[in-house]
């Protein structure tokens, strides 16, 4: 009996990777993904059945919205039992937001969802897009004993596979665009792809559940020395807000001025959730470690530990969209749901 070929679905949303240069005008334009094998003939060497879905109108990732995350999750849900893995081609600017959002929306994911893109268009001679795409497809199709090797939402970029909800875009001018300082890489591609299996999420035992409700009634307050009382008060009293991401200094520290703590306390009493994350890219929030964070802990600010900004925003959107109570959401914010938090 012939061995069943692995099937991977390639989803093109837009972004630099899907552009080619018009030989006559020099302009960059999206290429036809139905002719993908002509652009990248190396794909024909894979023992993988490759299918493609392309957004009717490719979008720049700066225009990414929650509706598109819901559409992506829906595409994966509709095709989940038809394919062994998924590759999403996406602009790099907001890729970490999309990867984080999908990680929360795809509960009990048991197949790889690999996001990738490039810093140079695939039609440019020196593009990084070909290698990124080829290896992302190989990872999405990798199986052992009939089961996928990877079972989570990841980002593959410049020879490294990262847990998606642990990443942020670090560089806009080099090929190594992403970093994951608080969690090790899941794999590195050299002569062979070396998987760091100890860093993988456990394989889920339950069926996939796709969440399609997100609530974006969130504001961000980034602290800086000399922050203005009037503007801070205005932000904290924005009509309709349900949650605030508070970007603090160091291990979660903030000014202890009475007006500032008083405004946070008022917001919390109005049933607004405040999540404390650090402005530092490495390390974590430890509320109560210093006097300047003890006051936050006492009034009910939730410590975000080592959540990235991208993960903090999308986790809040996801939890607010579940319709759970404020008390339940606060508990879940401190819980590790998809590998986004360190123990």
Pairing, β 48-54 against β 6-12: parallel
Same topology, domains 6-210 and 218-333? Answer is yes
pLDDT (tens digit per residue) in 210-232 = 999 999 999 999 999 999 999 99
CB proximity list for 280: less than 8 A, separation 6 or greater: 250
pLDDT (tens digit per residue) in 66-97 = 999 999 999 999 999 999 999 999 989 999 99
pLDDT for position 1: 46
Measure the CA–CA gap between 104 and 102, rounded to whole angstroms: 5
Measure the CA–CA gap between 63 and 65, rounded to whole angstroms: 6
Spell out a b/e string for 290-305, using b for 16 or more CB atoms within 10 Å of the CB, else e.
eebbebbbebebbbbb
Return the CATH number of the domain spanning residue range 218-333.
Answer: 3.40.50.40
The CATH fold assigned to 6-210 is Rossmann fold (3.40.50)
pTM of the model: 0.94
Catalytic residues: 16
Residue 147 has φ and ψ, to the nearest 5°, of -120, 150
Local confidence band at 180 (pLDDT 50, 70, 90 cut-offs): very high
Domains of the chain, residue spans: 6-210, 218-333
Q: Is the pLDDT of residue 234 over 80?
A: yes
314 or 21, greater pLDDT: 314
pLDDT (tens digit per residue) in 254-276 = 999 999 999 999 999 999 999 99
pLDDT (tens digit per residue) in 113-156 = 999 998 787 777 788 878 899 999 999 999 999 899 999 999 99
Local confidence band at 33 (pLDDT 50, 70, 90 cut-offs): low
């Amino acid at each position: 009996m012939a061995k069943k070929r692995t099937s991977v679905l390639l989803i093109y949303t837009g972004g630099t990777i899907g552009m080619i240069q018009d030989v006559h005008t020099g302009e960059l334009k999206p290429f036809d993904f139905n002719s993908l094998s002509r652009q990248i003939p190396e794909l024909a060497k894979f023992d993988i059945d490759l299918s493609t879905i392309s957004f009717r109108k490719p979008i720049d990732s700066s225009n990414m919205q929650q509706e598109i995350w819901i559409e992506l999750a829906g595409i994966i849900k509709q095709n989940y039992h038809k394919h062994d893995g998924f590759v999403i081609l996406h602009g790099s600017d907001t890729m970490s937001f999309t990867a984080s959002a999908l990680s929360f929306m795809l509960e009990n994911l048991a197949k790889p969802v690999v996001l990738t893109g490039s810093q140079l268009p695939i039609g440019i001679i020196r593009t990084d897009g070909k290698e990124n795409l080829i290896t992302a497809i190989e990872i999405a199709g990798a199986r052992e004993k009939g089961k996928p090797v990877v079972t989570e939402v990841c980002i593959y970029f410049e020879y490294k596979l990262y847990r998606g909800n642990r990443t942020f875009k670090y560089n806009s001018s080099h090929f190594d665009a992403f970093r994951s300082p608080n969690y090790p890489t899941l794999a590195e591609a050299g002569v062979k792809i070396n998987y760091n299996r100890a860093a993988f999420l456990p394989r889920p035992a339950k069926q996939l559940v796709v969440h399609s409700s997100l609530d974006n009634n969130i504001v961000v307050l980034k602290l800086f020395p000399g922050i203005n009382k009037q503007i801070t008060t205005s932000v904290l009293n924005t009509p309709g807000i349900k949650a605030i991401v508070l970007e603090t200094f160091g291990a979660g520290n903030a000014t202890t001025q009475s007006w500032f703590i008083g405004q946070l306390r008022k917001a919390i009493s109005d049933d607004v959730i405040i999540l404390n994350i650090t402005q530092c890219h490495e390390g974590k929030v430890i509320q109560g470690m210093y006097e300047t964070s003890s006051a936050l802990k006492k009034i009910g600010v939730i410590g975000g530990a080592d959540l990235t900004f991208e993960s903090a925003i999308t986790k809040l959107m996801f939890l607010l969209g579940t319709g759970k109570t404020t008390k339940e959401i606060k508990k879940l914010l401190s819980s590790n749901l998809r590998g986004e938090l360190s123990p």
